[in-house]
Chains A and B, each alone.
Chain A
C-alpha cells in the first residue's frame, strides 16, 4: 500500500522555474524530426508537485534511433530478478552474448561457495545455427541434466529465454515441466525474450509471474510462523545493500524470513506466503508479487525507503506502526541509537555539499528513493527521470521534487546532454553508458545502478558510504585539472 509523502512541498530551487524548464524542453524537442518530437514530447515535463498525477507519459516504446539507455526484458529478468537468487543455476537460453554481457555486471553480491552453493556464473545453451533451425528444446533437456550433475547442490534452475527462443517456437515450458519431475528440483521457465515489451520492466513482470506460477507456496518454513515474520522484497543486494538493511529490521525486532531476491534463497522465497508483512523497497520490479500475495494470502505490504537518515527514520516508524508497541519502542530506540552516527556523517560532509544540485536518471525506483539522501546532505535535485518506470512511479516522484524541476522519461542521450548542459548540475547520477559522456564534459558523476563499484548505500551503514562517495565525486581535485592553462 502506498503511503504517500507527508513532507511538505519542497522550497523552490534558485534558478529553477516552470517557464525555464518548459523552454528548455521546447528547445530540445525542436531539434528532432516531427514524428520523433511528437512521440517524445509527452515524456518530458516540468514538475508540479501538487498535481494529482505526474505530467509525463511512461512505459511506451523506445523511439527508434534516439539512443535510449534502455535494456530489454531478458535484462530485467536475468539481471534484476533471477540473477541475485544465489542457490539456483540461471540458464541464459539462446545465443552466447546475453549471458556474457550480464555475467557479474550488476553487482548483486551473494554469499556461498561459487559453483558449489552459489552460482554467480554464466550458464548458457550457446545456440548455434542448427539450434535455430531444429529448435533448442532437446538441447535444453540435455543441458539441465548436465547442470544438475555438475552442480548437485543447486536448489533449482531458471530458464531465461533470449530472443530466438520465442521466435522459433520452442516450448521451454513443456521442457521445464518434464525436467522438474525428472530432476525432482525446481525448473522454472521464464519467457523473457528481449523483444517483448518496451524495456526491462516487462522482464520484471514476467519473472514475477514465473515466481507466482512455479515457486511461491511450494515451500514452508520449518519453524512455526511468528508475529514478527516479514519478507524483504525488491532489495537486490547491490554492493551489499541487503546486508546493511536486514540488520536494521532485525534490530527493531522483526524476523526477516526471506529476501527477494538479493543474496536470495529460492526455497525461502517459495515460503514467503507465510510472512505477516511484505516490505518492498523496489516497487517497480516487485509490486506484482506483493499484490499476488496480498490477494491470495492476505499479506499486506508496505513500501519503505532506506536511503538516508530522514527516510530511514520515516520508514522505520511506518513499519513499526504495523506492529505492537514493543516494535515501535525498538524502532525509536534504533533511530535514536544511530542519530549521533548520522549527525557525524552530516557534520563531516554537509558543509562541502550544501547548496549543490544533482540530476538523476536511473531505473525504476532510485531517482525518487534517493532524493531524501541527497537532501539530507543539502543537495537539491533539479531533474529526475527513469529508464523504465510506469505512471505509478512518476506519481510517487512528483511530490518529492520541487516545483518546476525537470522530469524526463526514457531520456535519450541527446536530450539528457542538452538538459545537463543547461541546468549545470554539480553531479549527475545515472548509469555506465551515461557516465563518461558527462565526465568528459567535466561533470562529476556517480553510477547509481551499480553504486559505481562501491556500496552498500542502504541503511545507516550505507549512508556513511553514500555521503563519502558523493563528496568524493563532487569534490575530487581531479575536476580542477580538466581545463588546461594553455
Chain B
C-alpha cells in the first residue's frame, strides 16, 4: 500500500476462511512450514542475559543489582522476578538515554553509582549491562576505575561487573557471567595456600525455586557438611511478611563468598548455567571441583548424596535413607498414573535434563524435549539420557525451536501433558492438555517456588502434582458411567 493507494474498505474475515486457517495451523503441512522458519521467532522459552545476572546479584547479602543501560530493561527484570516470586526485586539502573548513546554511559554510571550508594547503602554493587552500552562499546573496566578515582564510590566497595549483551546467549549465561565476576571480585587476594575451610561451595545455578535452595541446605545440614551456597536466593526471594520491608533480606554473606576460594569442595549442580564460572574456579579455587546434574528424581538424588558422602567421608544420614524410601514408596504407589504417559518438556538445559530423568524413572515418556536456545552439546547429552532408558526411545530433542514449534508438534503428534514454565500455557490450551508448571517464570500460579522439585521430596512433589492433575481431569471430564469413587 503506497501513500497514494486507494482507501480500502474495512473488511471482516469470512467465517469459512477463519475455520480453514484454524484447522490448517494444526496440520502436518503447517508444521513443515513452521519448522522451515529461519528468521522469525514466535513464543520463545528463554529470556536475555541481564535477567540471569540480576538473579545472581540479588542473591548476595547487601548487594544492590545495578543495570548499566536503558531503564526499561531494569523495570522488565524487576517486574519478571516480582511476578514470579511475588516478592520485591530491588535493582537500580543508570538510565542511559540518547545522549548516553552518543557520548557513552560513563557520566550516567558515575551519577548512578553515587546516588545508589548514598540512598541504598549497599555492601556491594553488582553491575551488568543491557544491549545499549554493549552496542556502543562502553568500557566498564575503565568507567568503574574512574568512578573510584573521582570519588563517586568508596575505594573499598566491591563492584563486580559483567558484560551481558542480550544478543548473545540467554538468562543462564548472564547468571554465569555475573556469578564469575562476583566471585572473582570477592575472592581476590583471599587465597591462602594450604588453608582449607572444610566447607562445601554449592552452586545451584539459575533456579527460580527458592525451596530447592532450602532443600539443598537442609540436606547438607543433615549430613553435617559446612557449606556456602553461591548464590543463595532463598531468603531474598522468599522473605517473611512481618511488617518490615527489608531491602536486603538475606543472601550469601560476602565474607563467606570471599573465603569460598579456600573451600574443600566446589560443587555445581547445573552444568550449562555455570560453564565459565566453573572453568575459572577450576583454575583458581582450592579443593575439589565437581559438576553434577541437578538432583531431580531418585537416581540423580542418589548420585548427589553419594558424592557428598564420598567427598566429605560421611555416611548418607539415616533420615535421608528413610526419605528415599518414602519417595520410592510414593513412586511405586502412583506409577500407574504416569506410566506410559507422554510428555512435552520445555525449559532451560539443566532443568530439562532433570525433568527428563525423573520422567524416565516413572516409566513416563519424555516425547518432545524442547530448548529454545542451546547447543549441540546439550542436544547430544539429552539424546544420551533418552537412550539410557527404553522409555526414552521415542523421545525427540529440539534445540533452538520455540513454543510455536512446540504447538505444531503437539497438534500433529499429541502428548498427554506439558512440563514447562507459564509461557507454555497457550500451547497447552490449544492442545487441550495440562501444563505442569516447573521452571521459570511461573506467573499465573501461587507458591510453586515454595515447593522443591529437587531431591527426594521434590520427586514426591512433582509426582503428586502430575498424578493428581490427571486424576482431576478424569473426574472432571468423564461421562457419568465412568465416574467413580476410587481412582
The CA of A166 and the CA of B25, in the complex, are separated in Å by: 34
Query: Quick check: is A439 within 8 A (CB to CB) of the other chain?
Result: yes
Q: Are B91 and A67 in contact (CB under 8 A)?
A: yes
Complex partner residue of A96 from B9, B46, B71, CB under 8 angstroms: B46
Q: Are A33 and B95 in contact (CB under 8 A)?
A: no
Q: Which A residues touch B423, using CB under 8 A?
A: 100, 103
Q: Which A residues touch B72, using CB under 8 A?
A: 70-75, 98, 194, 200
Within A289-308, the residues touching B (CB, 8 Å) are: none
Q: Which A residues touch B111, using CB under 8 A?
A: 35-36, 63-65
Q: Which B residues touch A225, using CB under 8 A?
A: none
Query: Quick check: is A68 within 8 A (CB to CB) of the other chain?
Result: yes
Measured CB to CB, the nearest residue on chain A to B105 is A64
Q: Are A482 and B37 in contact (CB under 8 A)?
A: no
CB distance from B329 to the nearest CB of A (A): 35
Interface string of B362-405 (1 = CB under 8 A from A): 00000000000100000000000000000000000000000010
Q: Which A residues touch B116, using CB under 8 A?
A: 65-67
Query: Quick check: is A440 within 8 A (CB to CB) of the other chain?
Result: yes
Q: Are A146 and B38 in contact (CB under 8 A)?
A: yes
CB distance from A364 to the nearest CB of B (A): 15
The CA of A268 and the CA of B10, in the complex, are separated in Å by: 6
Measured CB to CB, the nearest residue on chain B to A481 is B241
Interface string of B92-133 (1 = CB under 8 A from A): 111111101100000011011111111110000000001110
The CA of A94 and the CA of B73, in the complex, are separated in Å by: 13
Q: Which B residues touch A268, using CB under 8 A?
A: 10
The CA of A74 and the CA of B166, in the complex, are separated in Å by: 15
Query: Quick check: is B8 within 8 A (CB to CB) of the other chain?
Result: yes
Take A267-B10, A436-B88, A482-B242 as given contacts and tell me if A105 and B83 are in contact as well, using a CB distance cutoff of 8 Å. yes
Query: Quick check: is A333 within 8 A (CB to CB) of the other chain?
Result: no
CB distance from A220 to the nearest CB of B (A): 5
Query: Quick check: is A143 within 8 A (CB to CB) of the other chain?
Result: yes
Take A97-B166, A129-B168, A271-B10 as given contacts and tell me if A32 and B118 are in contact as well, using a CB distance cutoff of 8 Å. yes
Within B20-60, the residues touching A (CB, 8 Å) are: 21-22, 25, 30, 33-34, 37-44, 46-48, 50-51
Within B72-90, the residues touching A (CB, 8 Å) are: 72-73, 75-80, 82-83, 86-90
Query: Quick check: is A128 within 8 A (CB to CB) of the other chain?
Result: yes
Take A163-B135, A167-B135, A195-B98 as given contacts and tell me if A124 and B78 are in contact as well, using a CB distance cutoff of 8 Å. no
CB distance from A156 to the nearest CB of B (A): 9
Q: Are B71 and A62 in contact (CB under 8 A)?
A: yes
Q: Are B18 and A116 in contact (CB under 8 A)?
A: yes
Q: Which A residues touch B83, using CB under 8 A?
A: 105, 432
The CA of A167 and the CA of B91, in the complex, are separated in Å by: 25
CB distance from A330 to the nearest CB of B (A): 26
Query: Quick check: is A122 within 8 A (CB to CB) of the other chain?
Result: yes
The CA of A308 and the CA of B164, in the complex, are separated in Å by: 46
Complex partner residue of A441 from B95, B170, B244, CB under 8 angstroms: B244
Q: Number of B residues contacting the other chain (C-beta, 8 Å)?
A: 96
The CA of A67 and the CA of B51, in the complex, are separated in Å by: 16
Q: Are A94 and B131 in contact (CB under 8 A)?
A: yes
Query: Quick check: is A349 within 8 A (CB to CB) of the other chain?
Result: no
Q: Are B44 and A122 in contact (CB under 8 A)?
A: yes
Q: Are A121 and B115 in contact (CB under 8 A)?
A: no
Complex partner residue of A442 from B243, B246, B430, CB under 8 angstroms: B243
Indicate the member of B25, B246, B407 with the most A CB atoms within 10 Å.
Answer: B25
Q: Are A98 and B76 in contact (CB under 8 A)?
A: yes
The CA of A483 and the CA of B130, in the complex, are separated in Å by: 40
Query: Quick check: is B451 within 8 A (CB to CB) of the other chain?
Result: no
Complex partner residue of B246 from A94, A114, A413, A440, CB under 8 angstroms: A440
Query: Quick check: is A131 within 8 A (CB to CB) of the other chain?
Result: yes
Q: Are B120 and A64 in contact (CB under 8 A)?
A: no
Q: Are B39 and A146 in contact (CB under 8 A)?
A: yes
Complex partner residue of A267 from B8, B93, B241, CB under 8 angstroms: B8
Q: Which A residues touch B43, using CB under 8 A?
A: 103, 121-122
Take A128-B167, A167-B101, A267-B8 as given contacts and tell me if A64 and B38 are in contact as well, using a CB distance cutoff of 8 Å. no
Q: Are B41 and A195 in contact (CB under 8 A)?
A: no
Q: Are B46 and A432 in contact (CB under 8 A)?
A: no
Q: Are A123 and B21 in contact (CB under 8 A)?
A: no
Query: Quick check: is B7 within 8 A (CB to CB) of the other chain?
Result: yes
Complex partner residue of A97 from B39, B48, B242, CB under 8 angstroms: B48
The CA of A484 and the CA of B242, in the complex, are separated in Å by: 7
Q: Are A146 and B40 in contact (CB under 8 A)?
A: yes
Interface string of A395-439 (1 = CB under 8 A from B): 000000000000000001110010000000000000111011111
Q: Are A150 and B34 in contact (CB under 8 A)?
A: yes
Q: Which A residues touch B22, using CB under 8 A?
A: 113, 116
Q: Which B residues touch A96, using CB under 8 A?
A: 41, 44, 46-48, 166, 170, 373
Indicate the member of A103, A114, A181, A440 with the most B CB atoms within 10 Å.
Answer: A440
Query: Quick check: is A149 within 8 A (CB to CB) of the other chain?
Result: yes
Complex partner residue of A67 from B30, B38, B92, B136, CB under 8 angstroms: B92
Query: Quick check: is B1 within 8 A (CB to CB) of the other chain?
Result: yes
Within A98-143, the residues touching B (CB, 8 Å) are: 98-103, 105, 113-117, 120-129, 131-132, 139-140, 142-143
Within B155-186, the residues touching A (CB, 8 Å) are: 165-168, 170
Indicate the member of A65, A168, A194, A414 with the most B CB atoms within 10 Å.
Answer: A65
Indicate the member of B1, B18, B112 with the most A CB atoms within 10 Å.
Answer: B1
The CA of A163 and the CA of B92, in the complex, are separated in Å by: 19
Indicate the member of A36, A97, A103, A219 with the most B CB atoms within 10 Å.
Answer: A97
Measured CB to CB, the nearest residue on chain B to A435 is B82
The CA of A408 and the CA of B39, in the complex, are separated in Å by: 44
Q: Are A441 and B132 in contact (CB under 8 A)?
A: no
Query: Quick check: is A147 within 8 A (CB to CB) of the other chain?
Result: yes
Q: Which A residues touch B113, using CB under 8 A?
A: 65
Q: Are B17 and A413 in contact (CB under 8 A)?
A: no
The CA of A486 and the CA of B238, in the complex, are separated in Å by: 21
Take A105-B83, A147-B40, A163-B131 as given contacts and tell me if A61 and B97 are in contact as well, using a CB distance cutoff of 8 Å. yes
Query: Quick check: is A325 within 8 A (CB to CB) of the other chain?
Result: no
The CA of A218 and the CA of B88, in the complex, are separated in Å by: 46
The CA of A483 and the CA of B242, in the complex, are separated in Å by: 6
The CA of A220 and the CA of B83, in the complex, are separated in Å by: 42
Take A113-B22, A163-B70 as given contacts and tell me if A217 and B7 are in contact as well, using a CB distance cutoff of 8 Å. yes
Take A196-B98, A484-B242 as given contacts and tell me if A436 and B70 are in contact as well, using a CB distance cutoff of 8 Å. no
Within B449-473, the residues touching A (CB, 8 Å) are: none
Query: Quick check: is B332 within 8 A (CB to CB) of the other chain?
Result: no
Q: Are B44 and A67 in contact (CB under 8 A)?
A: no
**Given A163-B70, A437-B245, 20 further pairs, Cβ under 8 A:** A32-B118, A33-B115, A62-B95, A64-B112, A71-B71, A71-B72, A101-B80, A114-B430, A115-B404, A116-B25, A121-B43, A122-B44, A127-B166, A128-B168, A167-B135, A195-B97, A195-B132, A196-B98, A267-B11, A440-B240
8 pairs of residues in contact across A and B, judged by CB atoms under 8 Å: A68-B95, A101-B76, A121-B42, A132-B167, A412-B119, A414-B119, A436-B86, A438-B245
Chain B residues packing against A (C-beta within 8 Å) = 1-2, 5, 7-11, 13, 17-18, 21-22, 25, 30, 33-34, 37-44, 46-48, 50-51, 66, 69-73, 75-80, 82-83, 86-98, 100-101, 108-109, 111-120, 130-132, 135-136, 165-168, 170, 239-246, 373, 404, 407, 423, 426, 430, 443
Chain A residues packing against B (C-beta within 8 Å) = 31-33, 35-36, 61-75, 94-103, 105, 113-117, 120-129, 131-132, 139-140, 142-143, 146-147, 149-150, 152-153, 162-164, 166-168, 180-181, 184-186, 194-198, 200, 217-222, 265, 267-268, 270-271, 412-414, 417, 431-433, 435-442, 482-484
